Structure 1
Amino acid sequence: MASERDCFKLSGPLHLTYIDWNNAHHRKSVAACLIKGVYVLENDRQARREGPKALALPWWAFFHFQLYMILVDDVDSSIFGAIYEFKPPPSMCNHALHRCPRYVIAFRGTIPKADSVSRDIELDIQFIRNGLHQTSRFEIASQAVRNMVAAVGGSNIWLAGHSLGSAIALLAGKTMAKTGIFIESFLFNPPYFSAPIERIKDNKLKHGLRFAGSVVTAGLAIAMKVKQQKSLSFDPFAALSAWVPSLFVNPSDPICSEYVGYFEHRRKMEEIGAGSIEKLATQNSIACLLMRGFGKECEPLHLIPSASLTVNLSKSRDFKDAHGIQQWWKPDLHLESKVHKY
């Protein structure tokens, strides 16, 4: 039942009785739980669970956070985000709070329920069309991020999101990074719209398809007179490279698995001396190039120069398990992490 999944006592990380903010697994788990809190806030709203019947509170209170603000979509009135304020008890030592945030801005993904699913799917489609930045939900999210940065500074904030919510957090983080403000970000199962090349088992075939794709993309970019980076006095893609968001992907999840190949292919292209081709291909998508050819502005929302990529290699039962937020706070995960710098 949905209430069982929403209940912290039944599905939350009760093993985390003490949070070490220097521990990457602990930080990841807390960020994931705060996102889960947004899901449960919306589920509480739809199920009309109020007061003692509401299930959302433990998802942040367990880690000494308070609900500072909720973010509501202007179209369907659903709760899609929340801002949490960290309020540690006086007994916590200052040295134990190193690397902890003062505020966390978290965004949920799609909820397949009648009161929210049509709006969520509409935004999923906007992401595929590279139009998420033009939606009112993103504008509400972006304004909330700007307001918090202005009030407390970017270094005191975390961004966190899952699925569609991670796309919103990624886009908000990119927007701030372009102004020189780099916000620590936790992006779980971030969508990467592409052919599912990562699912191919034959590594040679997989690399060959990616190589061909890079050549086509770079060639199309040049043909459509997209300026090459070395001829620019300012390269906006390279300017983002100092921002290193944390991406958490599962290779069994086709929604996010292409990020694995995106960064690995870039490394291989450098190794074979084709770095100049990949340098142009890595910041363009064929869909956006074609849209620009028709005079429409388009920026591939999912492409980023740098990231700390964590891959969950633990066996997943099904798509729901591979895409779910709950996997990221489980103990004893088989994780592989690597920092990719542009």
Structure 2
Amino acid sequence: MASSRDFDHADCFDNSGPVHMMAKNGAGSPRTVVDWGKEEHRRCVAACLVKGVYIIENDSTRRRVHTNALAPPWWENFGFNLLDVIRDDSDHDDQFIIGAIYEHVPPLGEPAHPLSPHYVVAFRGTMISHPKALIDLYLDAKIMVNTLKESKRSRLANTAVKKLVATIDKGMGGACGHGTAGSCIVWLAGHSLGASLALDVGRAMMVEQGYNLPTFLFNPPQVSPTPAIDVLLPIEKAQKAKRDIYAVSYFVKAGLGKVLNPHKERMENLFKRLSPWAPELYVHERDVICKGYIDYFEQRQQVQERFRAVATSAMTLSYRDMFFSMFGMEKEQPHLLPSARLWKSTSKDEDAHALQQWWKPMGEQSLSVRRYSYPL
């Protein structure tokens, strides 16, 4: 069990934050210089804002208030104010802070950078050491059975973002250009469980309102049997096994799609609506919780290169969705993403699921990136 001092050290921005971004003004300075044109800086800021949500809850639980609070530097050093927090009131006696809404305030006299957000909505992940960790773990179980979307926390997250966007639309004339991520002033970010929430919200905003919100998903969970294959087989045999399994699976799905044509057409239309939205997925190759996304996109690409027509027909389908469609229930697996930018880390970090790896400078990481798109 980690000690109180360990928690304080990990929560302190000067000890655990992105030191390389504080170099110009010095650690502990009120503001660091952010180049919004750099992917590295956008990634680091988004990850730190998510970290801020964790620490807001830690401050509340550990009664760190006023000058003892450790959370504010995680957003103030990047020019953000805390606009509001999102609470899970499942326990009416002690509400759980699950997210935060930040507002970006450019330096006095300077215009906002065209690539900077005006608002960022960030969601934390599971807090294993929290006294009420069971609430988070229960939602983790919902991710495994694809029912997180039906949870109260998901509804709270969606409501908070829709309310923010509606307020912006009313006061500023638009949160972003429909279907255009670059012109959007609201960002979403989340880690682990929080990444699943941000994914759910981002999908809903794109499908329901046509808003393409830039979305940063750090270690998003993806339930997949492929990590077991990596454990049981040597690397070369595991790669061949996955390649063959995915190819066969795509042929089976393509065949079933012909039988379940109404469901197939519905999913194709859904993919077309979602295709402009390409969330940023940050995944470590050794993270068994989320490496399913690596296999999903890489194997999808390989099937496309070998059997293009089959890939086009089957990539929108999942066995679970097809099964439910036979009973008149239309559901979509959250990992079925038409488009995404997949950032894959092969670094030697001890904890492949840790958030702090994502605010390290590019030079300290082994990151590769590929954009996957739909339509093919």
Please confirm whether the aligned pair reaches a TM-score higher than 0.5, indicating the same fold: yes
RMSD, aligned CA: 2.0
Q: In structure 1, what is the Cα distance between the partners aligned to 2:223 and 2:356?
A: 23
Residue aligned with 1:105, SS: strand
Q: Which residue of structure 1 lines up, in the alignment, with residue 280 of structure 2?
A: 246
Q: How many pairs align?
A: 334
Q: In structure 2, what is the Cα distance between the partners aligned to 1:233 and 1:208?
A: 24
**Of 65, 68, 71, which residue of structure 2 is paired with 1:53?**
68
Q: In structure 2, what is the Cα distance between the partners aligned to 1:249 and 1:243?
A: 18
Q: Structure 1 residue 120 and structure 2 residue 136: aligned? A: yes
Q: In structure 1, what is the Cα distance between the partners aligned to 2:330 and 2:260?
A: 14
Please state how far the C-alpha of 1:88 moved relative to its aligned partner.
Answer: 2.0
Q: Structure 1 residue 25 and structure 2 residue 9: aligned? A: no
Q: Structure 1 residue 268 and structure 2 residue 302: aligned? A: yes
Q: Could you tell me whether the CA contact under 8 Å between 1:130 and 1:298 is conserved in 2?
A: no
Q: Which moved more, 1:292-301 or 1:156-165?
A: 292-301
Change (3 A) 1:260 1:234: closer
Q: Which residue of structure 2 lines up, in the alignment, with residue 12 of structure 1?
A: 17
Residue aligned with 1:166, SS: helix
Alignment of structure 1 residues 275-294 onto 2, 5 Å? 275-294=308-327
Q: Which residue of structure 1 lines up, in the alignment, with residue 27 of structure 2?
A: none
Q: In structure 2, what is the Cα distance between the partners aligned to 1:168 and 1:63?
A: 24
Which amino acid letter does the alignment assign opposite residue 246 of structure 2? R
Q: Structure 1 residue 162 and structure 2 residue 191: aligned? A: yes
Deviations 1:98-148 (A, max 9, x none): 300000000011111343311111111112222111111111110111111
Q: Could you tell me whether the CA contact under 8 Å between 2:263 and 2:325 is conserved in 1?
A: no
Q: Give the TM-score taking structure 2 as reference length.
A: 0.83
Q: Which residue of structure 2 lines up, in the alignment, with residue 209 of structure 1?
A: 245
**Of 300, 316, 320, which residue of structure 1 is paired with 2:349?**
316
Deviations 1:277-323 (A, max 9, x none): 33343223223333334554422122210011111121232xxx110
Q: Could you tell me whether the CA contact under 8 Å between 2:53 and 2:100 is conserved in 1?
A: yes
Q: Which residue of structure 1 lines up, in the alignment, with residue 29 of structure 2?
A: none
Q: In structure 2, what is the Cα distance between the partners aligned to 1:56 and 1:296?
A: 43
Which amino acid letter does the alignment assign opposite residue 204 of structure 1? K
Q: Which residue of structure 1 lines up, in the alignment, with residue 292 of structure 2?
A: 258
Q: Which residue of structure 2 lines up, in the alignment, with residue 83 of structure 1?
A: 101
Q: Which moved more, 1:301-310 or 1:47-56?
A: 47-56
Change (3 A) 1:2 1:196: farther
Which amino acid letter does the alignment assign opposite residue 293 of structure 2? Y
Which amino acid letter does the alignment assign opposite residue 51 of structure 1? H
Residue aligned with 2:189, SS: strand
Q: Structure 1 residue 68 and structure 2 residue 83: aligned? A: yes
Q: In structure 2, what is the Cα distance between the partners aligned to 1:275 and 1:56?
A: 49
Q: Which residue of structure 2 lines up, in the alignment, with residue 150 of structure 1?
A: 166
Q: In structure 1, what is the Cα distance between the partners aligned to 2:44 and 2:370?
A: 18
Fraction of identical pairs, as percent: 40
Please state how far the C-alpha of 1:26 moved relative to its aligned partner.
Answer: 0.2
Which amino acid letter does the alignment assign opposite residue 86 of structure 2? L
Q: Give the TM-score taking structure 1 as reference length.
A: 0.91
Q: Which moved more, 1:255-264 or 1:167-176?
A: 255-264
Residue aligned with 1:337, SS: strand
Which amino acid letter does the alignment assign opposite residue 161 of structure 2? V
Structure 1 segments unaligned to the other structure (5+ residues): none
Which amino acid letter does the alignment assign opposite residue 23 of structure 1? K
Deviations 1:125-177 (A, max 9, x none): 11222211111111111011111111221411000011111111011111111
Q: In structure 2, what is the Cα distance between the partners aligned to 1:35 and 1:6?
A: 12
Deviations 1:217-266 (A, max 9, x none): 4444444555434xx69711122101111111111101111211211222
Which amino acid letter does the alignment assign opposite residue 141 of structure 2? I
Q: Could you tell me whether the CA contact under 8 Å between 1:80 and 1:107 is conserved in 2?
A: yes
Q: In structure 2, what is the Cα distance between the partners aligned to 1:327 and 1:234?
A: 36
Q: In structure 1, what is the Cα distance between the partners aligned to 2:263 and 2:153?
A: 32
Q: Which moved more, 1:158-167 or 1:292-301?
A: 292-301
Q: In structure 2, what is the Cα distance between the partners aligned to 1:23 and 1:114?
A: 35
Residue aligned with 2:216, SS: strand
Q: In structure 2, what is the Cα distance between the partners aligned to 1:271 and 1:137?
A: 39
Change (3 A) 1:234 1:193: closer
Q: Which residue of structure 1 lines up, in the alignment, with residue 367 of structure 2?
A: 335
Q: In structure 2, what is the Cα distance between the partners aligned to 1:115 and 1:222?
A: 50
Residue aligned with 1:242, SS: coil
Q: Which residue of structure 1 lines up, in the alignment, with residue 179 of structure 2?
A: none
